[in-house]
Amino acid sequence: QKEVEQDPGPLSVPEGAIVSLNCTYSNSAFQYFMWYRQYSRKGPELLMYTYSSGNKEDGRFTAQVDKSSKYISLFIRDSQPSDSATYLCAAHSNSGYALNFGKGTSLLVTP
Amino acid sequence: GAVVSQHPSWVICKSGTSVKIECRSLDFQATTMFWYRQFPKQSLMLMATSNEGSKATYEQGVEKDKFLINHASLTLSTLTVTSAHPEDSSFYICSARPPDGGNTIYFGEGSWLTVV
């Protein structure tokens, strides 16, 4: 069993919709949680980083972590066609910076 | 701009040959870099942790004699795929963390390897 599970989608939404992306994890030692955006044939780009439980907002993006349920979420408001990409959740513990990635969710925002 | 640079972005090589991929941290020194591999429609899988001045730490199932890692300076780590075979064709990505960057981890643009 992978330590970070993520539904690969694809997820298709109309422009302007609110997008909800989710991951679950199994390792209780994970303390740091990230969301990366990856365009086709490119390296991942860091979108959001959260420590422990809580919410973090940055523009149209909101990241949520619920450690009690081991659930990670990313919300995208007013989605744009340029948001079409694969979104990867990742986590690591205090003991190192090697990331454990989810499989990635493919998002398509249609005009 | 990019804080971690990889080269080459694309490489095609013949089966049985070796290929070297470079990962450079720009504007900061990285004592530790990470190498990942990503097959199509799959997640990034950690291959090894590259430590400056010492041997790399490989993940279970990754052949250290096949994937040679050298971290000879604080800004450069190299991954050499030796005696490459078609099944080694993949997207190889490195990452690095600035020493004063908290938990911010930056990725390179990745290197596409195709073995024919």
Q: What is the 3-state secondary structure (H, E, C) of B58-83?
A: ECCCCCCCCEEEEEEECCEEEEEECC
Helices (H) and strands (E) in chain A, counts: 0, 11
Q: B105 and A88 in contact by Cβ < 8 A? A: no
- As given in the structure block, the two tokens for residue B31 are 């004592």
Q: State the distance between the two ends of chain B, measured CA to CA, in whole angstroms.
A: 33
Please, are residues B42 and B90 in contact by the beta-carbon 8 Å criterion?
no
Q: A43 and B49 in contact by Cβ < 8 A? A: no
CB neighbours (10 Å) of residue A21? Answer: 22
Q: State the distance between the two ends of chain A, measured CA to CA, in whole angstroms.
A: 37
Residues of chain B in contact with residue A88, where contact means CB-CB under 8 angstroms, are: 43-44
Please, are residues A87 and A105 in contact by the beta-carbon 8 Å criterion?
yes
pLDDT in tens, chain A (111 residues): 678 999 888 999 999 999 999 999 999 999 999 999 999 888 899 899 888 888 999 999 999 999 999 999 999 999 999 999 999 999 988 877 788 999 999 999 999
Lookup result for tokens 């013949």: B14
The A residues from 49 to 78 touching B (CB cutoff 8 Å) are 49, 51
**pLDDT digits 0-9 by tens, B28-60:** 888 889 999 998 878 899 999 988 888 899 999
Residues of chain A in contact with residue B46, where contact means CB-CB under 8 angstroms, are: 98-100
Distances (CA, A) of A24 to A74, B49, B93, B108: 12, 25, 24, 26
| Candidates B32, B42, B110; nearest CB to A42 | B110
The residues facing A89 across adjacent strands are: A35
The CA angle B57-B43-B93, to the nearest 5 degrees, is 55
| Candidates A45, A97, A100; nearest CB to B97 | A97
Residues of chain A in contact with residue B103, where contact means CB-CB under 8 angstroms, are: 32, 49, 51, 92, 97
